[in-house]
Amino acid sequence: TPSAPPASGVLLDSLRRGLSSLAKPTDATMPTAGSRPMPAAVGDNPGQQIYRSSIPRTCLIVTFRNGKTSSLGSGLLVSADGLVITNHHVIENADNLAVKCGERESVARVGKRSKEPDLALLTTTLNRVDGFVLNDAYNQELIGLDVFVIGNPYGLEGTFSTGVISGLREIDGVRYLQISAPISPGNSGGPVILRDGSVIGIATMGLKKGQNLNFAIAAAELIRSGLFDPGRMKTSTAPSRNK
């Protein structure tokens, strides 16, 4: 039987304690979600622009089981009233949930969930920030496009990686993007972003035997999954060209 949910303040205090106990790099200071961005350099590149605009909408998800922190994952804000998308496997064994998006924190509840595709929709109090636009393109024109991934691998908040869309794969009837951007445990549920800032996929899994063989559930799959609320989420239908 799941334990009774603790008060919101207790969950958020646990979230803060968990974050403060994570190992921190000693040789350099890494940016964290919600940290003040560095001044733009001359010739500010697209990756920097994507990072600055996306980090307030990218979430750390902390799961609790039997009153203790259980695991960490990633998610993305998809509406101005606080809806967050993540993978089902991130939250499936949790009694309680908390999220941190940028500098803001909230308890979360599971609104809808689906094992296939591996997705869950969370409700939070994180309103007044526009969510990501979901891009439902899924065709051969996507192959070769640059992608940017933000997430929390092994609890390292706001980790940013880049790559390309390497292929389109359908596995057990679910549409995936194969991407070369590095992802690790803790990235699950995070956004895979095109140069125009729209989300083309949700980071989900990688093959351990091989290099840069990683997969994201296509955003188009979310839209047809039944978790999508067209009245609250924004979509785009055009692939973003590299420029």
Tokens 């509406």 identify what position?
79
Backbone angles phi, psi at 47, to 5 degrees: -60, -40
> Which residue in the list 35, 89, 95, 225 is annotated as catalytic?
89
Active site residue 118: yes
> Peptide bond before 117: cis, by omega within 30 degrees of 0?
yes
Query: In sequence order, what DSSP letters do the residues of 204-216 get, joined into one string?
Result: EEE-SSSSS-EEE
From 88, 106, 118, 240, the catalytic residue: 118
165-201 as b/e, with b when 16 or more CB fall inside 10 Å?
bbeeeeeeebbbbbbbbbbbebbbbbbbbbbbbbbbb
Note if 88 is an active site residue: no
- Does the annotation count 236 as an active-site position? no
Number of CB atoms found within 10 A of residue 62's CB:
27
The Cα 215–Cα 151 span in angstroms is 14
For 101, how many CA atoms within 13 A lie in the half-sphere containing its CB?
34
Q: Which residues are catalytic?
A: 89, 118, 188
